[in-house]
Amino acid sequence: MITRLLFCLLFVTLSAQAGDFRVGAAQVDITPKDGTPLGGFYKFRGSAGVLDPLYAKTIVVEKEGVHAVIVVLDLSGTVRPVVAAARKAIQEQCGIEGDHVMISGTHTHSGPQQPRGSLMDDLTKVNSAPGVAYISALPGLIAESVKQAKSRLVPVTASAAIGKAEGISFNRRVLREGVKEAIWQPKSLTAFDKPAGPVDPDVGVLVFHSAGKPVASFLNFAMHPTSVGGGVKISADYPGVFTRLVSERHGPDMISVFANGCCGNINHTDYITGKRRSTQELGTALAASADAAWPSLQPVTTFKPRIRSELVTLTRKKFSEAQIAKAKDMAANMFTKNFGTVPMAEAVCILETVDKQNVPLVGEVQVIAFSDELAIVALPGEIFVELGLAIKKASPFKHTLIAELANGSVGYVPNREAYPQGNYEIVSARGEAGSGEKLVEVALKLLGQVKSPD
Ligand SMILES: [Zn+2]
């Protein structure tokens, strides 16, 4: 009898371990020391003080020994060398294959810069001692966050809902009657001006419950985190407020992870009224959208994680000799003179393209699915909202959540129609028109593969 009971217990324990869908989450502080070069602008700004901390937040998903890892950093983005080093460390320390790991950045503009191998590195002094110290430590901190998350794996159920945040985000490119070029972040508008494109009001909410308690949430919305402004204090911007409020309200022990969607052309300034919500207001409004969606969370099926990724080679833009000469001229004076954001962005892009003319422009597209109803797409850059909407529309999944600035970045990725309209994002884009559509095509192909493998 006792033997039989033991056998039953053993059997139950083993089968529970073998078949369970498990999730663990953790966060590790990645706030830099004072004096660390900040990103987001075309000049050096050393950090001084902290408004709120930065984290590497991780959700590890596992079933039958197969893991998928989702890491989001409170940083302006991700660069390939850091991603590669972090994946290697994760593989060594956690035994999880590097290509099962997604690492994205929230795009906060109040965090440290990462080296890009361009003039930006000199402008931001990212290769100064404090910059190098920060970047060298980062892969280890990311791996630590994954290690902690993996050690907390518990059986969970997953549920998802899509909330709406209307009137929070705005397309920052505006078309004016009779003007060919789109106006970028206009100071004022006429009644005849119209946004050059849409916004994506969807707030993706994916929650994992263990024994009735939420242990992790993955939140998704598309909007530039530029609400803190150009100061020198460190901040996670609105995603920091958003995730903190969601955890406070729905489960104090829950780790809430925010991934930014396709927000290449999306900001928080209402260009009609000129209104700019504060960081606190933006985070609070998004948390209210998540609150409203919470009661409609629907359980989703779960299975062994399926991960696909593909390296996509994009074609670099081409420049005339005159454009290159002008950019070189400007570069020589850019450290002492402010030529304005758009001309400086253009010069940086031209010089990087010249420097790297024999280096392929490669971005990784990655898709993670562990449910028939939901998939996560990771894209390598600042992707225009039109491209994200195209993926969501054509995706075979009911819910498709997108993380931009993931697994490295190819810079801005506008949709094809936006190229002739010019201005900031277009002159900053490394890839020629059609690059974004190529990423969409690969994302949809991979979504098809994880939806129906074999
Ligand atoms: Zn940006």
Tens digits of residue pLDDT in 232-287: 999 999 999 999 999 999 999 999 999 999 999 999 998 878 889 999 999 999 99
Ligand 1 center–CA 107 separation, angstroms? 7
Q: How far is CA 326 from the centre of its chain?
A: 33
Tokens at 454, concatenated: 């074999």
* pLDDT at residue 6, rounded to an integer: 46
Phi, psi (degrees; rounded to nearest 5) at 379: -120, 145
Ligand 1 center–CA 382 separation, angstroms? 6
Ligand 1 center–CA 3 separation, angstroms? 64
Ligand 1 center–CA 150 separation, angstroms? 32
> CB under 8 Å to 266, separation ≥6 — which residues?
169, 170, 171, 172, 199, 200, 222, 223, 224, 385
- pTM, 2 dp: 0.94
Ligand 1 center–CA 336 separation, angstroms? 23
* pLDDT at residue 188, rounded to an integer: 75
As a whole number of angstroms, the distance between CA 235 and CA 51 comes to 5
- The mean of the pLDDT values for the chain is 94
* pLDDT at residue 15, rounded to an integer: 41
pLDDT band at 189 (very low <50, low <70, confident <90, very high): confident
Residue 205 contacts residue 161 (beta carbons within 8 Å): yes
Residue spans of the domains in the chain: they are: 21-314+359-451, 321-355
Tokens at 165, concatenated: 């945040």
What average pLDDT score do residues 411-437 get? 97
* pLDDT at residue 16, rounded to an integer: 47
User: What is the β-pairing status of strands 412-413 and 382-383?
Assistant: parallel
pLDDT band at 178 (very low <50, low <70, confident <90, very high): confident
The string of pLDDT tens digits covering residues 67-82 is 999 999 999 999 999 9
* pLDDT at residue 17, rounded to an integer: 54
pLDDT band at 54 (very low <50, low <70, confident <90, very high): very high
As a whole number of angstroms, the distance between CA 244 and CA 102 comes to 22
pLDDT band at 229 (very low <50, low <70, confident <90, very high): confident
> CB under 8 Å to 325, separation ≥6 — which residues?
none
Ligand 1 center–CA 412 separation, angstroms? 8
* pLDDT at residue 8, rounded to an integer: 44
* pLDDT at residue 453, rounded to an integer: 84
Ligand 1 center–CA 28 separation, angstroms? 24
* pLDDT at residue 179, rounded to an integer: 87
Ligand 1 center–CA 264 separation, angstroms? 6
